[in-house]
Each structure stands twice: as structure tokens, then as C-alpha cells.
Structure 1
Amino acid sequence: MQSVLRRLAALFACAGGLVACGVALMVVGSISGRAALSSPVPGDVELTQLGIGLAIALCLPWAQLRGANIIVDFFTQRASTRTLRRLDGLGSLLLAVMAGLLAWRSAVGAVSVAQAQEQTMILGLPMWWSYAILAPGLALTGVIALWQAARHWRGQPAFVGAAE
């Protein structure tokens, strides 16, 4: 299971990184075009919002798998390893539930907005895309967090490639 989750998360993260690089290049081109030729990329703000949302959603599973999220351990510094594992397991379970709910609602929202045939203001892109692109990354994040919760509770390492 770990190997499959790692490969999927890495694939999502690479795709997210490529999208972010593409957005960065588009922004540079738009700013340069605006400054030099008074001709920015049409819909650059719409494309930036869509692209960065996608990039973030695609990178979330990798961050969760690696344990690269922020942990505030002020209140648990003196807790036993067993207590920490239980709390980490509970946190992972809560994240799995939240990510699953967000993925589900993003997919439902995409269908609803698609039926309403809403479009972006400048480019006329279907608005449902902005909802639909979030669902896969959120769903994979939820699956990874659920897997991690089970591993925490069994006393097994739950983060791939990171020190616990």
C-alpha cells in the first residue's frame, strides 16, 4: 500500500509542480507583455487562480505522506510516545474525514455549477473546472491520512521519508 500511495502522491506532486511552473511562466509573459507591448495575456488572473488551485491540491498528498505539515507540539512535548502516536492517529483520522468531505463537496459543486453552465468572465471557461480540479488531490490526501491513522495506532512509521 505504501508503494502505491507514494507513487500516486509523487505523480500528483510532479504534475502540481509543472502546473505551478506553467503559471509562473504565464505570469512573467503577461507582465512582460503588459510592460513592453501594453498587451498582457488575456484572462491571466483567471488562469492563475485556476492553475494555483490545481497545483496546491495536487501537492497536498505528497506533503501529507511526508509529514511536511506544520505541527504545534507545545502541549505535547512531555507526552509519551504512545500518547503522541494516538494523538497523531486521531489527527490523521480527522484530516482524512475533512479531506474526504472537501473532495466530495468539490465534486458535487462541480456537477452543480456545470449544470448551471456558469463561465468565467474574461475567457468564458466553464466554472465547474475550478471545483473539479480540487477533488482528486483532496481525495488522495484523505486516503493517505486514513492509511497514516491506522499506522499510527499500530505503532508503525506513518510518514514516508521523514523522521518521526
Structure 2
Amino acid sequence: MSLATWVNSHYSEKGPAKWLAFLLELVAGSVLFLLMLITCLDVAGRYIFNSPVPGATELTRLGLALMVFAAMPVITYRGGHIVVDLLDHVLGQKLLKALGLVSALIMSSSMYFLAVRIFELGERSIRRGVETEFLGLPSGYIVQYIAIMSWLTAAGMITLGVYRILSSPTK
């Protein structure tokens, strides 16, 4: 089975979103596997050989940022966030649709403006040559990666969130 056939059969997204979701999930899964490997090697090195992996804590922090922010746009695009529907049976469908539209617009615009500020902080870190404490890795690029994934999350929320709200049937 070819990769394209496999992706087409396992991903419901349309067009380039399907391949972007696959790529981001591949990144998140690969980073998760590497985090598991680093943790196993660190624990084995610490307790069996009395020599932990140098910088394992720092690599874990960076890996968690990579993994979480790679998965965030995909989860948002698929509508996989937790939703509390305490008042859905009380409020009418038209009001729920309007509230959903307002919340999607607020969330996507706040993610967008938050990403702008995060990107600016990443640029400043790169200009100043800020590095991680132990391994000396430039931290500004990770910060800019977080901003880019936040922009993708905002785009996923505004496109699919608004589409789902406007296309859902009203009673």
C-alpha cells in the first residue's frame, strides 16, 4: 500500500489539510518516541551506569513544546477540544450557533495576536543570542515554532470552526 493510499484511507480532511495533518501528527509522534527513548536512556543510565544523559531534562522540555504545539493545530481543526454543553438544552439552536460563532472568532483572534507577540519574543531571543541553559541550543527558534503553530491553530479554528457552525442545521 502506498503512503498516499494509506493517508487517504486514514485521514478525513480534504486537500492539503490532509497532508498537513499527517505531517504534524508525524512530527508529534516522532518527538513523543524520542522523548520516550531519552527518558528510558536517562533512567537506565542514572540507575544502572550511574551516568545520566547530559541535558535530558532540557531535551524533554524542548520535546514537549515541539510535540504539544505540533498536535494543537490538528486537534483544533478536527474540533477535538473539550466542550461543555450545560446550557445547550436550555438555549435555542440559533442562539447556540451565534454564541459558537462569537467564541470561534474570539478564540482564533486571540490565538493570532498571542502568536504575533510570541513571534516577536522569538525574534528578540534570536537577536540577543539567547541559548538554553545546559546544551546551549538557540531558544528563539523554538519560540518562533510555537508562534507558527499558534497561527496554524488560529487558522484551523477560524476556517473549520466557522464552517461547522454555519453549516450545522438549525432546528
Q: Please classify the TM superposition score into its range, dividing by the shorter chain length.
A: 0.7 to 0.9
Query: Aligned residue for 1:89?
Result: 101
Taking the aligned partners of 1:75 and 1:42, their CA distance within structure 2 comes to: 51
Could you report, residue by residue, the CA deviation over 1:110-145 in whole angstroms, capped at 9, with x for unpaired residues?
110111111112111112133122122211111111
Query: Aligned residue for 1:40?
Result: 52
Taking the aligned partners of 1:144 and 1:90, their CA distance within structure 2 comes to: 15
Q: Post-superposition shift, 1:52? A: 0.5
Unaligned runs of 5+ in 1: 158-164
* SS of the residue 1:75 aligns to: coil
Q: How does 1:97-116 map to 2 (within 5 A)?
A: 97-116=109-128
Taking the aligned partners of 1:17 and 1:91, their CA distance within structure 2 comes to: 30
Query: Aligned residue for 2:75?
Result: 63
* Greater C-alpha Rg: 2
Unaligned runs of 5+ in 2: 1-12
Matched residue count: 157
Query: Aligned residue for 2:92?
Result: 80
Q: Post-superposition shift, 1:79? A: 2.2
TM-score by length of 2: 0.82
The residue type paired with residue 26 of structure 1 is I
The residue type paired with residue 63 of structure 2 is G
Q: How does 1:102-141 map to 2 (within 5 A)?
A: 102-141=114-153
The residue type paired with residue 71 of structure 1 is V
Which of these residues, 24, 40, 47, is aligned with residue 12 of structure 1?
A: 24
Could you report, residue by residue, the CA deviation over 1:22-62 in whole angstroms, capped at 9, with x for unpaired residues?
11111111111111111111111111111111100010111
The worse-fitting range, judged by mean Cα deviation, of 127-136 and 35-44 is 127-136
How well do the aligned residues superpose, as a CA RMSD in angstroms?
A: 2.0
* Higher relative contact order (Cα pairs below 8 Å, separated by 6+ residues): 1
Q: Post-superposition shift, 1:2? A: 4.5
The residue type paired with residue 84 of structure 1 is L
Q: Does the aligned pair in 2 maintain the 1:76–1:84 contact within 8 Å?
A: yes
Aligned identity (percent) is 25
TM-score by length of 1: 0.85
Q: Post-superposition shift, 1:148? A: 2.5
Query: Aligned residue for 1:29?
Result: 41
Q: Post-superposition shift, 1:3? A: 2.9
Q: Post-superposition shift, 1:80? A: 2.6
Taking the aligned partners of 1:144 and 1:46, their CA distance within structure 2 comes to: 30
Taking the aligned partners of 2:16 and 2:78, their CA distance within structure 1 comes to: 14
Q: Does the aligned pair in 2 maintain the 1:85–1:155 contact within 8 Å?
A: no
